[in-house]
Amino acid sequence: MAEADWTYLNNGLDIATVDRGVTAGIARPPGGGNFLFAFNSLAAVQGAVALFANLVNFAPMAKGASIRGCLQRGPGGGPTGFSPFLFLCCQGNSVNDTAYLLGLSDDDPHRIVLRKGMVAVGIPDSEGPGALLASGESFAQGTWLHLRLDAIVNDNGDVVLKVFKNDLDAQPLGTPPNWQPVAGMTQFIDDHVAINSGSQPLTSGRGGFGFAVKDVTRRAFIDHIELMRQV
């Protein structure tokens, strides 16, 4: 996807608060190209910046989707106070809307976490409100993780959420990924009677990536985003 294929969600932090954009100044994940997308917070303000795919039939998508991408909680002013994430089924065009978020928790060390909630909150920790699944393994700041989230809408209205990880050392970008389930993250069924998550499942919406932050000089890097819709 090109730069023109992405639009910022409304009500996100402005560029004076969180700088963002494509850069060649940061080391890419194994097998990566010449550029990546970076976020850098310039003020101690709480909120988020997020972009969604604005292509025809993607904004919004009528059913579920699969999103894949490389995420890193980059070194900066401290190891906490921020979280990068991928998202699917965002219910509107604002960071104040609800979505399924897969990202790196605001913990030190951090975990891979699947959360259902407002985009602006990001992934505050591995066990907080809205957390559906968390990885058994934790990771150090500065680690690249190649992740995949599938949101599959069943005919009965359930949404089946599945999380996968590709080992970038064994399968760098540019080679076919070997998607494996993340330890500790068995599939989650967001049932249509609102039992498992406590709210109705998200059966359609927008997909993209973002960065939640609440402190200054926090940085996150994102690369190799792929988005596919369920048909």
- The DSSP line for 155-219 is TTS-EEEEEEEE-TTTS-TTS----EEPTT---EEE-TTS-SSSS----SBEEEEEEEESSTT-E
What order of strands is seen across the sheet that includes strand 206-213?
6-8, 47-53, 206-213, 82-90, 98-104, 110-118, 131-139
Domain 3-229, CATH: 2.60.120.560
Q: Write the pLDDT tens digit of every residue in 64-104.
A: 999 999 999 999 999 999 999 999 999 999 999 999 999 99
> What's the average model confidence in pLDDT over 151-156?
98
Quote the tokens at residue 120: 């602006």
What's the confidence (pLDDT) of residue 3?
Answer: 73
Q: Is the pLDDT of residue 55 over 70?
A: yes
What's the confidence (pLDDT) of residue 137?
Answer: 96
- pLDDT cut 70: percent of the chain above it: 99
Distance between CA 216 and CA 72 in Å, rounded? 17
> What's the average model confidence in pLDDT over 177-190?
96
What's the confidence (pLDDT) of residue 205?
Answer: 98
Domain residue limits, the chain? 3-229
Q: pLDDT-derived band of residue 127, with 50, 70 and 90 as boundaries?
A: confident
Identity at 175, one-letter amino acid code: T
Query: What phi-psi label fits residue 89: left (phi over 0), alpha (psi between -120 and 50 degrees) or beta?
Result: left
What's the confidence (pLDDT) of residue 2?
Answer: 67
Q: For residues 217 and 126, which has the higher predicted lDDT (pLDDT)?
A: 217
What's the confidence (pLDDT) of residue 158?
Answer: 98
Q: pLDDT-derived band of residue 195, with 50, 70 and 90 as boundaries?
A: very high
Distance between CA 105 and CA 54 in Å, rounded? 27
What's the confidence (pLDDT) of residue 128?
Answer: 85
> What's the average model confidence in pLDDT over 166-179?
98
Asked which of 3-12, 38-47, 59-68, 205-214 is least confident by mean pLDDT, the reply is 3-12
CA distances from 78 to 51, 109, 144, 159 (A): 25, 12, 17, 36
Quote the tokens at residue 115: 């959360």
> What's the average model confidence in pLDDT over 150-154?
98
Quote the tokens at residue 35: 């550029």
What's the confidence (pLDDT) of residue 7?
Answer: 98
What's the confidence (pLDDT) of residue 1?
Answer: 61
> What's the average model confidence in pLDDT over 175-197?
97
> What's the average model confidence in pLDDT over 100-116?
98
Q: Is the pLDDT of residue 152 over 70?
A: yes
Distance between CA 208 and CA 185 in Å, rounded? 21
Q: Is the pLDDT of residue 147 over 70?
A: yes
H-helix or E-strand spanning residue 153:
strand 145-153
What's the confidence (pLDDT) of residue 16?
Answer: 97
CA distances from 113 to 5, 75, 170 (A): 27, 20, 23
Q: DSSP secondary-structure letter at 228? A: E
- Chain-wide mean pLDDT for the chain? 97
pTM, entire model: 0.97
Output the furthest CA–CA distance in the chain (Å, rounded). 48
Sequence-distant (≥ 6) Cβ neighbours of residue 41 within 8 angstroms: 17, 18, 19, 82, 213, 215, 216, 217, 218, 219
